[in-house]
Structure 1
Amino acid sequence: MRSPRPHRLALLTLFTVGLSGSALAEGTGSATSFLDNFDTLDTSVWYVSDGWNNGAHQNCTWSKNQVRVENGIAELTFQEGKLGERNYTCGEIQTRKRFGYGTYEARIKTADGSGLNSAFFTYIGPADKKPHDEIDFEVLGKNTAKVQINQYVSAKGGNEKLADVPGGANQGFNDYAFVWEKERIRYYVNGELVHEVTDPAKIPTNPQKIFFSLWGTDTLTDWMGTFAYKGPATMQIDRIAFTAPGGDCQFAESVACRTN
């Protein structure tokens, strides 16, 4: 599989434009455990991307209007509508703080549609005065039976793996988790271990921000499929948790209940 990361590499410069200096400076240390069930969108925790895109490959502009919380669910939407240089708008949120080793867990229902990407990932990069490190779960709307797993270390990727999502990532909520340790990363789907990384060269070391995003492309067809707009699409997030190493698990189904 080809390495599909121009959109993340574009963040290295575009974050400098998209975020204020104060936002970039926040959360320079590794944060402690937290659980968000999205009763509200706490803007002291989350920064909402708004008013820019990540490069020519992305066919939508990030918009705060495509992010909302309703009935305990955070929703990111993709829809037609001219904004900036793009004919579509899309949604993204990111934590203001950075998180290091620990257990990351999200309960998500993804969007479907060729050319769309529903992503749960961690990222840090040169705009934060750090190397580009990243850990990914990405569901491509062209095939919602699979989730793509990947890591970047100092901007080097090429570690893509596909894991099954039984029943389909777009048909209901599924649990995605990774346990990030100094010596390994373990990836889980619905509590089942689906991949393990032990090569030190493939394990990030820098604390990162947590992101959720839904975006589209007209150009990355080999990776994401040919884009064909069929109406608004939605990615839903029911829960996000970070559990620090050795910390108490924060909900009954948590992977941390077994691994900490």
Structure 2
Amino acid sequence: MAAKGATVFWEPMTYYNSQSWHKADGYSNGNMFNCTWRANNATFTNDGKLRLALTSPSHNKFDCAEYRTNFNTGYGLYEVSMKPAKGVGTVSSFFTYTGPTDGTPWDEIDIEFLGKDTTKVQFNYYTNGVGGNEKIIDLGFDASQSYHTYAFDWQPDSITWYVDGVAKHKATRNIPKTPGKIMMNLWNGTGVDDWLGPYNGANPLYAYYDWVKYTSN
């Protein structure tokens, strides 16, 4: 239940709502990202889902997808119904982010699925660029096979992550404080085989998102 006076943003992923969302296009995050964001790789299915694609237009070149809000949000409850891609060397995500390109500290809160084992989910966060807070949770199911609800409750003194409404992990140290954008992406890595496993070029791969909800404090 939303707190009295809370703002609720709920988006069914049925079409491209350009008033609220933006598709990354034509650039790469560099370093570990072995692909270029393409707006055409963020599309909507006939049954009303956002589909992020990882594709290869030519040998050893890869295109990926990122979708993010046009506005910033802060403390509150973040929820998503999604189905990540399965594929070694890839990441499907739901997170909040702000950083130097926005003129702010690098603050980030993550829900990440490593495609090498989609029976697990990784939670993480960065505060002013300081990370090292990874926590891997066994789900008891294969997340790539069906939609489930994943969430985190971001408060000034804690972050609590949930799977299908059940609390799975809580952090209380050095919590981020800078509002950021709600983001989702699918990408393939390079030079991070110890984390993601080696990407073998398999494509196309898809991550699907049914809806997103944010409830402020």
TM-score of the pair, normalised by structure 2: 0.93
Q: Which amino acid aligns with 2:151?
A: A
Q: Which amino acid aligns with 2:44?
A: V
1:44 aligned to 2:19?
yes
1:55 to 30, 52, 55: 30
Give the Cα separation in 1 of the matches to 2:134 and 2:68. 22
Q: Identify the structure with the greater helix proportion.
A: 1
Q: Identify the structure with the greater strand proportion.
A: 2
Q: State the 1:41 CA deviation.
A: 1.3
Q: Give the number of aligned pairs.
A: 211
Q: State the 1:61 CA deviation.
A: 0.7
Q: Tell me the C-alpha RMSD between the 2 structures.
A: 1.5
1:243 aligned to 2:215?
yes
Which stretch of structure 1 is more off in the superposition, 164-173 or 131-140? 164-173
Q: Which runs of 5+ in 2 are unaligned?
A: 1-5
Q: State the 1:165 CA deviation.
A: 2.1
Q: Which amino acid aligns with 2:170?
A: E
Identity, % of aligned pairs?
A: 38
Other-structure match for 2:66:
92
Please say if residues 32 and 99 of structure 1, whose CA atoms lie closer than 8 Å, have aligned partners that are also in contact: no
Q: State the 1:154 CA deviation.
A: 0.4
Give the Cα separation in 1 of the matches to 2:53 and 2:112. 16
Other-structure match for 1:79:
55
Other-structure match for 1:178:
152
String of CA shifts for 1:179-231, please: whole Å, max 9, x gaps. Answer: 111121110011110001122x1x10011101100000232101000111233
Give the Cα separation in 1 of the matches to 2:104 and 2:201. 37
Runs of 4 or more above 4 Å deviation: none
Matches within 5 A, 1:105-254: 105-199=79-173, 201=174, 203-245=175-217
TM-score of the pair, normalised by structure 1: 0.78
- Structure possessing the higher relative contact order (Cα contacts under 8 Å, 6 or more residues apart): 2
Give the Cα separation in 2 of the matches to 1:164 and 1:94. 27
